[in-house]
Amino acid sequence: MITSRRWRLPGGPNGTERLAARAWAAAGAEPAWLAVLVHGYGEHIGRYEHVAERLCAGGAAVYGLDHRGHGGSSGERVLVEDFAGVVEDVHRVVVQARTAYRSLPLVVVGHSMGGLIAARYAQEHRADLAGLVLSGPVLGRWGAVDRLLALDPIPDEPIDPATLSRDPGVGAAYAADDLVWHGPFRRPTLRAFAAELARVTAGGDLGDLPLLWLHGADDRLVPLTDTRVGIEALAGTDVTVRVFPGARHEVFNETNRDEVLDEVVRFARRCAGADR
């Protein structure tokens, strides 16, 4: 059985916000590794319940939080003026996880915008990580940012649920989720995306830190060709690439999600030395 708990974590600018945090663990079992999930733009960590449960079944204790301005956390909706602060918030939840699991190998798993955040976190805290997993990450360049910044006003173009998965239930649940942001991008957030993309590209590679890059071949939201530019700058000496034919943006929610999550567990257990 997988147990979970929720709490409020101080975060945001100067610790003035309250971040909705969650943790999952398999009851009665000692975990072999620690995972921190980093969610994408406009969504919340609750959409990763099945991911957390699969990682727990694979031997992990799992932590995550809703970013400032997202989900159940406080802050103006989807407003990010500098991703450096969001990276700091992720470190806050890592510190919390370390109070319970001081010595477990840590694997950070980031999706989409969360992949950008996780990549920067890995650049800043490489020595503390055993591995990094990036799913459909916004890296290198993202054509949507430049296109929207060139428009005034920014059009009200919410993310099309059909771009998320071939499973129609995923898009329907996303559209009906009140904790998901269904409005337009904020201009300061788009500027922050552009700045953070440049920061990560210039931030150097990961050396010998193992990296697993997962992407859907039919990802129309974060195109594979855009991300490849960033991966080439980020990847060090240990990189595994899995591109899933026909899959769309949310590979953790795709019709072959079991295959994808099995890949994550195999990679993480290898990084953590859990199969020795």
Q: Is 266 helix (H, G, I), strand (E, B) or coil?
A: helix
Alpha carbons within 13 angstroms on the beta-carbon side of residue 93 total: 34
Out of 66, 89, 219, 226, pick the active-site residue.
219
Closest CA relative to residue 207, chosen from 116, 138, 131, 135: 131
Q: Per residue in 62-117, pLDDT tens?
A: 999 999 999 999 999 999 999 999 999 999 999 999 999 999 999 999 999 999 99
Which residues 6+ apart lie within 8 Å of 128 measured at CB?
Answer: 94, 106
Residue 73 known to be catalytic: no
Residue 219 known to be catalytic: yes
pLDDT of residue 164: 98
Strands (E), 118-253: 131-135, 211-216, 239-244
H/E element, 8? strand 2-11
Measured between alpha carbons, how far is 92 from 98 in angstroms, rounded to an integer?
10
Instruction: Tell me, rounded to whole angstroms, the distance of Cα 243 from its chain centroid.
Output: 17
Residue-range domains of the chain with CATH: 2-272 (3.40.50.1820)
Residue 4 known to be catalytic: no
Which residues 6+ apart lie within 8 Å of 151 measured at CB?
Answer: none
pLDDT of residue 276: 55
H/E element, 149? helix 143-149
Task: Fill in the amino acid letter for 82.
Answer: D
Residues of the chain predicted below pLDDT 70: 274-276
Residue written as tokens 């109070």? Answer: 99
Task: Fill in the amino acid letter for 178.
Answer: D
Measured between alpha carbons, how far is 54 from 58 in angstroms, rounded to an integer?
6
Output helix, strand, coil percentages for the chain, rounded to the nearest 5. 40, 20, 40
> Omega before 10 cis (within 30°)?
no
Out of 66, 67, 112, 135, pick the active-site residue.
112
Measured between alpha carbons, how far is 145 from 125 in angstroms, rounded to an integer?
27
The answer to whether residues 268 and 151 touch, using CB atoms and an 8 Å cutoff, is no
Out of 39, 111, 215, 249, pick the active-site residue.
249
